Amino acid sequence: MSTDEFIDLRSDTVTRPSDAMRDAARNADVGDDVYRDDPTVTELERRAADAVGMEAALYTPSGTMANQTAVKVHTEPGQELLLDRESHIYRWELAGASMLSGVQTRTIDAGDRCVPSPEAVERELVAEDLHRPGTGLMALENTHNYRGGVAVPKSRIDAAAAAAHDAGVSVHLDGARLFNASVALDEPAPALVDGVDSVTFCLSKGLGAPVGSILAGSEAFIEEARRVRKLFGGGMRQAGMIAAPGVLALENVGRLATDHANAARLAAGLDDLPGVSVPEPDTNIVVADTEAAGIPAADFVDACAAVGVGCGEFDTYTTRFTTHLDVDAEDVDAAVDRVAGVVTEHGA
C-alpha cells in the first residue's frame, strides 16, 4: 500500500471481495432460492451449519436480519428478551426486537466478562404469571463488539446458557465474529456454541465476503426462520451470486490470526502515544482511550480521517480501530505514525 493511501480501520466490514470471490460470483450455479432451487446457497448453508456444528443454517442479507429473525422465532409478542446492556441486538439494531417481535428487552450489566453470571441470569429471568410476561429468550454475544472484541470463553457461555435452560428459556448467541473468538481461544466454533440453541455469524466481516450472514440452529428452528426471513423481506432469488463468495469466506477462518496479530501491534503502537491508553486486544478490535490526551473521540476520529486513517467514535473518549484482511502490518505501522501526528497536534 502506498503511503498516501487511506488506511481504513473503521470496521472489518470494509473489505473488498478478492478476485477469487468475484470469479466465484460470476461462475456460480444459481436458481430461485425462494423455491430452494439455488444450489450455491444450499451448499453455503450446509457448509455453514457444519462450521458451527448445528443441524441447519439459513443465509441472510445481514447479521441484523439473522439476529432479528432468531428473536422472532424464539419469542412470542409480549415476552421479555434478556441481554447485556452493551449488546449489539440491544444497542445497534434500531429497537428491532420491540418493533419486529413485540418483545420487551430486559438489560443486564454483564460487565467485563461480557456474559452474565449464572446467578445474574437466574435473578433476571422472569417467570410468566398474572402480572409478568415471562422471559422468552436470552441473547449472548461472542466476540463482544462494544466491550472491545472480547473473546468469551466457552465455560462462561455454557454456564449462562445452562441457567437459562434450567428455567426453560432458549438462548441465542450473536456470534457476528464467532470465528475470531474461536481462533483467539483456540476452541473449535462448534464447541463455543454447543450450549446455545441458535447462532448468528457474519460472512461479511473478517471472513471477507461482500454480503451476508448465517443463522444456524436445529432443522425445526431453521424451517421456521425461513418463513420469518421471508416475512422480513429477506427471501432472495438467484442469491448464489452473493453466496458463492460466502463459501470462499468460510475458508478464511485460519487467517483471522493475522488480524489479531495486527490488532495487537496496533494497540501496542497506539498505547505508546502520550495520553493514549489502549488495552491489549483479544481479537481484531482495538479500543483507544484519549481522555488523558484531552482529545474527545469525535475530534480524534475527524483528525485521524484528515491524515488518512479511518476509525470510529465509540464513546466520549473512546475510539474503535478494527483490523481486517485488507490491512497488513505495514499499514498498521503507517497508521500508528499518522495517529502519532494527530496526538502531537491535538493532545493536551
Ligand X SMILES: *Cc1c(COP(=O)(O)O)cnc(C)c1O
Nearer to ligand X, 69 or 204 (CB): 204
Nearer to ligand X, 84 or 346 (CB): 84
Q: Closest distance between ligand X and the C-beta of residue 315, in Å?
A: 16
258 close to 324: Cβ distance less than 8 angstroms: no
Nearer to ligand X, 200 or 290 (CB): 200
130 close to 120: Cβ distance less than 8 angstroms: no
Residues ≥6 apart with Cβ < 8 Å to 95: none
Q: Closest distance between ligand X and the C-beta of residue 213, in Å?
A: 5
Nearer to ligand X, 312 or 347 (CB): 312
Cell of 167: 428455567
Q: Closest distance between ligand X and the C-beta of residue 62, in Å?
A: 3
171 close to 196: Cβ distance less than 8 angstroms: yes
Q: Closest distance between ligand X and the C-beta of residue 246, in Å?
A: 12
Nearer to ligand X, 180 or 273 (CB): 180
Nearer to ligand X, 213 or 283 (CB): 213
Q: Closest distance between ligand X and the C-beta of residue 59, in Å?
A: 12
Q: Closest distance between ligand X and the C-beta of residue 203, in Å?
A: 9
- Rule CB under 6 A: which residues touch ligand X? 62-64, 67, 88, 141, 145, 174, 176, 202, 204, 213
Q: Closest distance between ligand X and the C-beta of residue 9, in Å?
A: 15
Residue nearest ligand X, Cβ-based: 63
Cell of 284: 481484531
67 close to 169: Cβ distance less than 8 angstroms: no
d(CA 265, CA 268): 5
Distances (CA, A) of 341 to 187, 274, 307, 320: 39, 11, 8, 18
Nearer to ligand X, 148 or 240 (CB): 148
